Amino acid sequence: MFTFDQLFSTSYAEVQSARKRENLANEMPEGFSNLNDLDNACLKLIEDGKLVIIDSKLIRANMTLIKNPELTRAEFQKLALELIDELVEGAKKTIASDGEVKIAISVRGGMPFYPITVKHFAGAEYGFSAQQRDETTLQAESQESKLGSFADKTAIAVDFMLATGGSLVQMIDLLAERGAHEITAVTAFSAPQGIIKTASNQNVRKIISLPLEAGLNYIDENHHGYIVGGHIPNTMLGDFGDRFHGTVD
């Protein structure tokens, strides 16, 4: 039986400690009032085969190391690509397809997936979509789409961070409009809130993720909804796009 310690990137005791310490019960999906119920719902998704956790000792070590704010960009990029490689390799083994695969990549967060998916899903087609969330309301806004048709394709949607789920679900809805159904979502750092919101989308067949983080924080009106884990002393990854690619101010 899958356990809470297997579900999360740190021990469940550390997850619960982080939740109490950092106020992580925020942006709860419809129908949920507490994180414990979300945890049990995630375990049920695993039992039903809708959520797959890709895990290893290297993954857990790198999920700890990558949160160090003192890393150089080169060090951060190396760790991120190692995590993505293990995640996509696991996804390849999980996704059974006899047909054509088309992968939707979120810009900018999903861009590092591109060379890794080319390696593991040779010959796949690609579409690209830019989503951005309003940092006060946390609502996703579609910026630009170069997705094309997903009709008759095995559709995979990838992004590095799954916080509230708004941006990924918006991209999934765009894929459905373009003919995709039974879409597989592949994410690296994921909060339980985002997992549940994504799984509730009728077009989602499966979610494949690294072990989950503890939840979403609330600092003030303009700084909230960010993924926090149970690692000490560095609990947050930060803005993945900025740390991987550089800022775009």
**What is the residue-averaged pLDDT of the chain?**
92
Residue type, 238: G
Report how far apart, in Å, the C-alpha atoms of 216 and of each of 141, 192, 249 are. 20, 9, 25
Q: Which domains does the chain have, with CATH numbers?
A: 4-245 (3.40.50.2020)
Give the pLDDT confidence score for residue 138 in this predicted structure: 47
Q: pLDDT tens, 90-120?
A: 999 999 777 899 999 998 889 999 999 999 9
Q: pLDDT tens, 164-195?
A: 999 899 999 999 999 998 999 999 999 999 99
Is the Cβ–Cβ distance between 204 and 198 less than 8 Å? yes
Q: pLDDT tens, 207-225?
A: 999 999 999 997 676 666 8
Give the pLDDT confidence score for residue 140 in this predicted structure: 46
Q: pLDDT tens, 7-21?
A: 999 999 999 999 999
Q: What's the predicted TM-score (pTM) here?
A: 0.93
